[in-house]
């Protein structure tokens, strides 16, 4: 944890709202991105982002600064995402238009459409995977976290995180095979 | 998939994620194993898609909402505490007023009227069985206004009439009892006695029950007289208040 962040956490623990506001400013983009990658829905991700900081404020005294503040925040965020997924039981789908918009600058319309379909398929496959597999894939392959950090966020051992990630990757590859083959043709 | 192939597939994925070339041994394995070659190709494509999918759009700054909720929460918790304290004080006051109203001293006349008792000397079979001619203080309750006294001269003692020993019973509530009377300590105190004698023709055919309570010991005595065509059965039962009788007679 950086020195300034540590000081801010100390001040926030004493009830300094301004210090906590600065912490929110420093971490809100990461928290939102993580929530969005797990949930795939902007509105729910914004809810989780806000709830994460409210939970953090309420439980700040329990934070013993053994781990990084960001890791602790991500742990809260992941737990909130998991409960939201359980509660809503949805498979969120972003509009294909958004994907087309992302790729329109680099690809021709046909390629752009295929790409958007493949992305939508990936989202569907990820949404249909067991939640703990999806979280692992997001943390490692999208957010590029270290195994140690992943283990801290998920509250498991590094070895367990490695093993589960390997299984998750195999499952993702197998489920994506039809769409990738289609893309090749 | 073989175990070695699983390890290789994972290694290929990790290298593709990091944008590195796989080690030479892995490359050799991939060249020889069509399954791993396919896995490597798939991993690259899936990772590419995942990178695209990981792009996150713009989001609103959540700081104002978070700060507002935190501040609101503080104010709310202060209000909750204030309400809780006010409610506690109000409840305390109500309880106090209720207690004061219901604990006013009872007027003397009412107390005397409520505790009125009649002290009677014990006569008849009970006096004889206790072995003392002096009457003890017994309080007759108004449970049976029509109770009749039995003349002592009519009692005939038989072997069945003898005093039976008291069975020791476990008290329901541990409380200190007054010392027993010396007369009762000599033999076993009477707890249940049955007396039978022949009924003359002139005696009226009648049955009744009377209950006595000893104010000193708290002992309760039930006297049940049952008259049949040719005999009278008297059943005396003595027990502490609220307990079952330790013994029964016929």
What is the rounded average pLDDT of the residues A12-31? 89
Kindly state the tokens that stand for B74: 């503080």
**Nearest CB to A32: which of B55, B59, B71?**
B59
Q: Is A15 left (phi over 0), alpha (psi -120 to 50) or beta?
A: left
Residue A64 scores a pLDDT above 90: no
What is the rounded average pLDDT of the residues A80-99? 65
pLDDT at residue B114, as a whole number: 63
What is the rounded average pLDDT of the residues A47-75? 89
Block means of pLDDT (10 residues each) for chain B, 250 residues, are 79 86 87 87 88 80 86 73 89 90 68 58 53 47 50 53 56 51 46 64 70 80 79 80 51
Beta bridge partners of B225: B208, B234
What is the rounded average pLDDT of the residues A47-70? 88
pLDDT-derived band at A182, boundaries 50, 70, 90: low
Helix axes A17-39, B63-102, angle to 10 degrees: 110
- Tell me how close the Cα of A156 comes to any Cα of chain B, in angstroms: 20
Nearest residue of chain A to residue B42 (CA atoms): A173
Domains belonging to chain A, first-starting first, are: 3-88 (1.10.1740.10), 96-184 (1.10.10.10)
Residue B36: CB partners within 8 Å, gap ≥ 6? B5, B8, B9, B12, B29, B30
Give the CA radius of gyration of chain A: 18
pLDDT at residue B250, as a whole number: 41
User: In this complex, do B17 and A140 lie within 8 Å of one another by their Cβ atoms?
Assistant: yes
A53 touches chain B (CB under 8 A): yes
Residue A178: CB partners within 8 Å, gap ≥ 6? none
**Nearest CB to A21: which of B51, B55, B63?**
B63
**Nearest CB to B50: which of A24, A49, A122?**
A122
Contact B128, B150 (CB under 8 A): no
- Tell me how close the Cα of A31 comes to any Cα of chain B, in angstroms: 11
Helix (H, G, I), strand (E, B) or coil at B1: coil
Kindly state the tokens that stand for B237: 């039962």
Query: What digits encode the pLDDT tens for the residues A98-137?
Result: 444 444 455 566 777 777 888 888 888 888 888 889 899 9
Integer Cα distance of B188 and B227 in angstroms: 28
% chain A with pLDDT above 90 = 26
Other CB atoms closer than 10 Å to residue B197's CB: what's the count?
16
pLDDT-derived band at A56, boundaries 50, 70, 90: very high
pLDDT at residue B165, as a whole number: 59
pLDDT at residue B211, as a whole number: 84
Contacts of residue A176 in chain B, CB cutoff 8 Å? 42, 45-46, 49
User: In this complex, do B55 and A102 lie within 8 Å of one another by their Cβ atoms?
Assistant: yes
Residue A53 scores a pLDDT above 90: yes
pLDDT at residue B160, as a whole number: 54
Closest CA to A10 of A71, A77, A63: A63
- Tell me how close the Cα of A159 comes to any Cα of chain B, in angstroms: 14
pLDDT at residue B159, as a whole number: 55
DSSP string, B124-163: THHHHHHT-SSPP-EEE-TT-TT--PPPGGG----GGGSP
DSSP string, chain A: --HHHHHHHHHHHTT-HHHHHHHHHHHHHHHHHHHHHHH--HHHHHHHHHHHHHHHHHTGGG--SSS-HHHHHHHHHHHHHHHHHHHH-------HHHHHHHHTTTS-HHHHHHHHHHHHHHHHHHHHS-HHHHHHHIIIIIS---HHHHHHHHTS-HHHHHHHHHHHHHHHHHHHHHHHHHHH-
pLDDT at residue A31, as a whole number: 92
Integer Cα distance of A51 and A37 in angstroms: 17
- Whole-model pTM: value is 0.54
pLDDT at residue B58, as a whole number: 77
Query: What digits encode the pLDDT tens for the residues A137-160?
Result: 999 988 888 999 999 888 899 999
**Nearest CB to B57: which of A20, A42, A143?**
A42
B50 touches chain A (CB under 8 A): yes
Q: Which of A173, A175, A184 would best serve as a mutation to test chain B binding (most B beta carbons within 10 A)?
A: A173
What is the rounded average pLDDT of the residues A2-31? 87
């Amino acid at each position: 944890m950086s020195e300034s962040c540590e000081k801010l956490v100390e001040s926030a623990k004493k009830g300094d709202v301004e210090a906590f506001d600065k912490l929110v400013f420093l971490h809100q983009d990461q928290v939102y991105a993580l929530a969005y990658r797990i949930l795939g829905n902007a509105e729910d991700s914004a809810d989780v982002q806000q709830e994460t900081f409210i939970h953090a404020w309420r439980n700040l005294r329990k934070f013993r600064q053994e781990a990084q503040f960001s890791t602790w925040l991500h742990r809260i965020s992941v737990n909130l995402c998991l409960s939201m997924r359980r509660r809503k039981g949805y498979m969120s789908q972003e509009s294909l238009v958004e994907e087309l918009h992302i790729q329109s600058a680099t690809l021709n319309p046909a390629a752009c459409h295929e790409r958007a379909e493949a992305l939508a398929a990936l989202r569907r496959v990820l949404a249909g995977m067991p939640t703990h597999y999806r979280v692992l894939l997001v943390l490692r392959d999208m957010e590029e976290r270290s195994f140690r950090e992943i283990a801290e966020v998920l509250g498991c051992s590094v070895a367990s995180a490695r093993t589960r990630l390997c299984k998750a990757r195999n499952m993702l590859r197998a489920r994506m095979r039809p769409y990738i083959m289609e893309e090749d043709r | 998939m073989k175990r070695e192939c699983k390890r290789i597939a994972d290694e290929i994925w990790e290298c593709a994620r990091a944008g590195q070339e796989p080690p030479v041994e892995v490359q050799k394995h991939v060249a020889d194993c069509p399954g791993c070659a396919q896995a490597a190709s798939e991993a690259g494509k899936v990772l590419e898609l995942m990178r695209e999918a990981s792009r996150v759009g713009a989001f609103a700054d959540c700081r104002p909402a978070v700060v507002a909720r935190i501040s609101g929460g503080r104010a709310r918790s202060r209000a909750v505490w204030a309400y809780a304290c006010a409610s506690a004080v109000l409840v305390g006051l109500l309880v106090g007023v209720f207690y004061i109203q219901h604990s006013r001293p009872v007027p003397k006349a009412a107390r005397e009227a409520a505790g009125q008792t009649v002290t009677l000397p014990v006569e008849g079979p009970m006096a004889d069985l206790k072995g003392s001619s002096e009457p003890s203080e017994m309080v007759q309750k108004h449970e049976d206004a029509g109770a009749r006294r039995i003349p002592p001269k009519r009692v005939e003692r038989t072997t069945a009439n003898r005093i039976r020993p008291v069975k020791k019973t476990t008290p329901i509530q541990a409380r200190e009892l007054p010392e027993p009377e010396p007369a009762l300590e000599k033999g076993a105190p009477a707890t249940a006695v049955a007396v039978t004698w022949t009924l003359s023709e002139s005696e009226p055919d009648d049955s009744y029950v009377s209950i006595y309570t000893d104010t000193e010991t708290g002992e309760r005595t039930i006297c049940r007289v049952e008259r049949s065509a040719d005999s009278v059965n008297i059943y005396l039962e003595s027990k502490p208040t609220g307990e079952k009788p330790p013994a029964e007679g016929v």
